[in-house]
Chain A
Amino acid sequence: MVAPPEALLLEDDLDELQALARVVRDAGLEPISASRPRQALSRLENHDPLLAVIDLDMSRAPASGRGSSVHEVLHRLHSHHLNCIPLIYSAGVETIDAQAGVYLSHPHALFQSKRHGFERLLGRIQGLLGGNVGDLAIRGGVVVHLPSGRTMSHRVGVALLTAKRANRSVVLRASEARAARRFQQWLDELGSPVLVRALGGRHYQVAVREPAAS
């Protein structure tokens, strides 16, 4: 039994936190909810999320939880959780200066303005977690080969597909690289055009095989 991939949710509005948790759970991921940065840092001690949805504005968080900042959470994700995709959901990311501030904490964060509403955020999350790559998709937290309906539940496959949706690579340790090779074998057996590419330096990315030039 493979544990489902996890998503860190840092949101000080408890109603929104619960709604986010529902969306993430519907997508087959396990939500790791935190309503203040210190709690999020504590959660990261024992979890390794695939996705982090982070509100920059923590004005509703209890004062006792503000000893750490959202930027510390972003720093931690960047330094210790390279394969986690941070999605900043905030009213304060519409200016370039604000985005640059986030960039300095985590250069690969994605942005989603609160001005566009919660529904747009949900669509963005679903796009990252449920979109297709070639003939594969993530459904219920596992990789599904759409033509055959066969599934691959290994976390590395889910991480590779999610990273591809965000135009990123994943960094794998040796044991995970072996899992990536097994994932490739599974794809080959299914005749999928999707392949796992080793980019060098432990970085891997999936790509859709292109037809040979005539």
Chain B
Amino acid sequence: MHLAIITQDMRGAPRTVLVLSERPHPWAFLRDSLNPELVSVEWARPSKLGAHVALAVPWSVAGTGTRPPNLAHRAGNLFSCRWVGPAPDRLPVRPLIRPSWQAIASDLEQALSVDLRGLCLAPGRGLRLPDGSFASRVAELEALLGAHPDGVELLGRSVRESARRVSALIERLGLPLQVSCASGRIWLTEVEDLANGSAA
């Protein structure tokens, strides 16, 4: 029996951080810094962002340089974005500006270990639910969990459709969370926070 021949299909592939930089050093640094059980680190030069990395929606993007990468096909997708130094104008998500790659690694380590009322990222992909069970095909919720508490700000796009999808998912999974959105930003809120009036 042959397991392949299968052509590339990265949809549903393990969670990835996509590093956008002309030099490979940030990729190697993050690859060696982050827990490989939880995330794989991909790399592309902004000038050559190719289909081999573009097929999968990254869980997070980290980049440097002002040359705009071609991420137009990712417009409307939820993922967090961090940037070292001045960022290009045309990114689909507003980046969090960080002073160094060490700071980005630290951010991502923290994002990978978020535990929100027992909800956390499962190895590979998917979520570990508060009762210990596993949920797959929840990429948007994974992205928002990793971006908690700041959330994700989509540029030039409404987040209402994303918010509806994530809300439906939260309801289906019976999670004690709610999704909030305002001014292009979308974020997760614990239900008790809402009761205290701390969410938008």
Which A residues are CB-close (under 8 A) to B132?
Answer: 209-213
Question: A170 vs B125: C-alpha distance in the bound complex, in angstroms?
Answer: 13
Q: Is B118 on the interface with A (CB-CB < 8 A)?
A: yes
Q: Is the beta-carbon distance between A201 and B8 smaller than 8 angstroms?
A: no
Question: A81 vs B25: C-alpha distance in the bound complex, in angstroms?
Answer: 28
Question: A172 vs B5: C-alpha distance in the bound complex, in angstroms?
Answer: 10
Q: Is A184 on the interface with B (CB-CB < 8 A)?
A: no
Q: Is the beta-carbon distance between A207 and B122 smaller than 8 angstroms?
A: yes
Which A residues are CB-close (under 8 A) to B37?
Answer: 167
Q: Is the beta-carbon distance between A103 and B24 smaller than 8 angstroms?
A: yes
A residues with CB within 8 A of B? 2-3, 48, 50, 78-84, 96-97, 99-100, 103, 107-108, 155-156, 159, 167-173, 176, 195, 197-203, 205, 207, 209-213
Q: Is B9 on the interface with A (CB-CB < 8 A)?
A: yes
Q: 8 closest Cβ contacts across the A-B interface? A: A201-B12, A200-B12, A100-B24, A201-B11, A212-B132, A167-B36, A199-B125, A96-B28
Q: Is B27 on the interface with A (CB-CB < 8 A)?
A: yes
B118 CB, nearest partner CB in chain A, Å: 5
Q: Binary interface profile of B, 1-35, with partner A (CB < 8 Å = 1, else 0)?
A: 11111111111111000000000110110000000
Q: Which of A97, A205, A209 neighbours the largest number of chain B CB atoms within 10 Å of its CB?
A: A205
Q: List 17 A-B contacts (CB under 8 A).
A: A80-B5, A83-B4, A96-B24, A100-B28, A156-B3, A170-B3, A171-B9, A172-B3, A199-B126, A200-B11, A200-B12, A201-B9, A201-B11, A205-B14, A205-B125, A207-B123, A213-B118
B18 CB, nearest partner CB in chain A, Å: 11
B97 CB, nearest partner CB in chain A, Å: 24
Choose from B118, B125, B133 the contact partner of A200 (Cβ within 8 Å).
B125
How many of chain B's residues have a CB under 8 angstroms from any CB in A?
A: 39
Q: Is B131 on the interface with A (CB-CB < 8 A)?
A: yes
B residues with CB within 8 A of A? 1-14, 24-25, 27-28, 36-37, 40, 42-43, 52-53, 118, 122-126, 128, 130-134, 136-137
Question: A68 vs B177: C-alpha distance in the bound complex, in angstroms?
Answer: 55
Asked if A97 meets B8 with Cβ closer than 8 Å, knowing A107-B42, A200-B137, A210-B132, the reply is: no
Asked if A201 meets B5 with Cβ closer than 8 Å, knowing A100-B43, A213-B132, the reply is: no
Q: Is the beta-carbon distance between B14 and A81 smaller than 8 angstroms?
A: no
Which B residues are CB-close (under 8 A) to A48?
Answer: 2-5
Choose from A100, A103, A169, A209 the contact partner of B13 (Cβ within 8 Å).
A169
Closest to B122 in A: A207
Which B residues are CB-close (under 8 A) to A207?
Answer: 122-124, 134
Q: Is the beta-carbon distance between B27 and A173 smaller than 8 angstroms?
A: no
Which A residues are CB-close (under 8 A) to B1?
Answer: 2-3, 155, 176
Question: A108 vs B42: C-alpha distance in the bound complex, in angstroms?
Answer: 9
Choose from B43, B52, B124 the contact partner of A205 (Cβ within 8 Å).
B124
Which B residues are CB-close (under 8 A) to A202?
Answer: 6, 9, 12
Choose from A81, A96, A212 the contact partner of B131 (Cβ within 8 Å).
A212
Choose from A2, A96, A176, A203 the contact partner of B12 (Cβ within 8 Å).
A203
